[in-house]
Amino acid sequence: MSLPKKYDRRIRRVLGLRAVWQPGAVIDLGDIVTLRRGVFVPVEALSDFGITFRKKRGKETALTLNSQGVSETLLQGGAEIEDVRDLKQNTTAQLEISFGRKDAYYLRTPTLTSTAMDNLAAVGRAAARLEAWDFRRNYIVWKVFVAKQFTFVGSHQKNRKIVFSGRGKAVAKLLTTGLSGGITKTSSRKLDLEIIGAGGPIAIGVTRVRRDGKLRDV
């Protein structure tokens, strides 16, 4: 299974939503997306068809995900630290992330903010009345989880490692929330995907519309 599909499957299990690939890619509430090789790609927007919708804010949450085969080692003063709470805040520390399997990933987010449609059923009925609507391929983005800042690293190959270094308090923030201020990184080989300290959409809710205007895949 490819890295994007493996990541998407985990997002579905944890959040009941679909993954944005790559994490942080531009995608918004009301976009019309289609599946291409297991990845949702924006093709149009509801506004292109004159369909409007209402928004509502959801609760904030955080997200921590490791795929199988990913391990973390926390070091300070040459010794392994078992608990991040034991780090000395002003002493240099390292976080080693090892990828023991192919197509493995590591994700940390401090805060995810969600926005959703408040009148999704009405939007579905409006889309069903359109002659040009593709009922098989079109998915409506009805919910979006956005991270103000996150860290995502992924590797297609196994036996790779990345090391983050900084003061103990900075490494603790990276480990617990994904915040990357005051952190440097080194790796023997550049990983296939390194998104560090970026922000943007992480997960989306999508639905298709049936010809009678009812919704599928919500």
Q: Which of 99, 92, 93, 121 is nearest to 212 (CA)?
A: 121
Beta carbons within 8 Å of 44's beta carbon, 6+ residues apart: 31, 32
- pLDDT confidence bin for 191, thresholds 50/70/90: confident
pTM of the predicted protein model: 0.89
For a pLDDT cut of 90, what percent of the chain falls above it? 79
Q: What is the pLDDT of residues 53-95, one digit of tens each?
A: 999 998 888 888 999 999 999 999 989 999 999 999 999 999 9
pLDDT in tens, 98-139: 999 999 999 998 889 999 999 999 999 999 999 999 999 999
